[in-house]
């Protein structure tokens, strides 16, 4: 049961999460760019991130979908989630002169504190999944 949860559920959850967040941003680039402009970094960076972030999210989801690329997808997911978790922590610790607006979609209903806990939980699940995969015997198929 535990193996099935880690091996199947975590990647599936992440596929849904990253596809949802990636396509939400790609289908509304003006709204996403407006959100990025409200963040405490230069606008020229926002202009690049508007397509880079959703593209990375979708690429990670695709990697997670296939067994052969799942480990790479888990590392990508872990990296993005860790970076965003650190960013949220910096916001909560008042590292920036203003608190930017929250995320869109279903996450807009979360406070920054709630969003931090969701990210910590998701990052923990990804790390658990990576540890589980590392313990699995390597199978060579032709």
Asked whether 32 and 54 are in contact (CB, 8 A), the reply is yes
Q: 6-26 pLDDT, tens per residue?
A: 678 999 999 999 999 999 999
Average pLDDT over residues 108-135: 92
Q: What is the pLDDT of residue 1?
A: 47
The whole-angstrom separation of Cα 105 and Cα 69 is: 28
**Average pLDDT for the chain:** 88
Max CA distance (Å), the chain = 56
Q: What is the pLDDT of residue 142?
A: 47
Average pLDDT over residues 67-93: 95
User: In this predicted structure, which of 42-46, 65-69, 134-138 has the lowest mean pLDDT?
Assistant: 134-138
Residues 6 or more apart whose Cβ sits within 8 Å of residue 82: 123
Length of the chain: 142
Percent of the chain past pLDDT 70, that is, above it, reads 89
Q: 87-101 pLDDT, tens per residue?
A: 999 989 988 877 776
pLDDT at 74 over 90: yes
């Amino acid at each position: 049961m535990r193996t099935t949860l880690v091996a199947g559920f975590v990647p599936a959850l992440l596929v849904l999460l990253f596809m949802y967040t990636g396509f939400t941003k790609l289908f509304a680039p003006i709204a996403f760019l407006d959100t990025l402009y409200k963040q405490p970094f230069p606008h020229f960076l926002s202009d690049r991130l508007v397509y880079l972030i959703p593209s990375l999210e979708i690429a990670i989801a695709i990697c997670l979908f296939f067994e052969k690329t799942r480990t790479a997808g888990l590392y990508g997911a872990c990296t993005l989630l860790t970076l965003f978790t650190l960013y949220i922590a910096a916001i909560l610790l008042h590292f920036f002169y203003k608190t930017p607006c929250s995320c869109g979609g279903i996450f807009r209903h979360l406070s920054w504190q709630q969003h931090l806990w969701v990210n910590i939980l998701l990052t923990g699940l990804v790390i658990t999944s990576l540890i589980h995969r590392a313990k699995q015997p390597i199978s060579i198929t032709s």
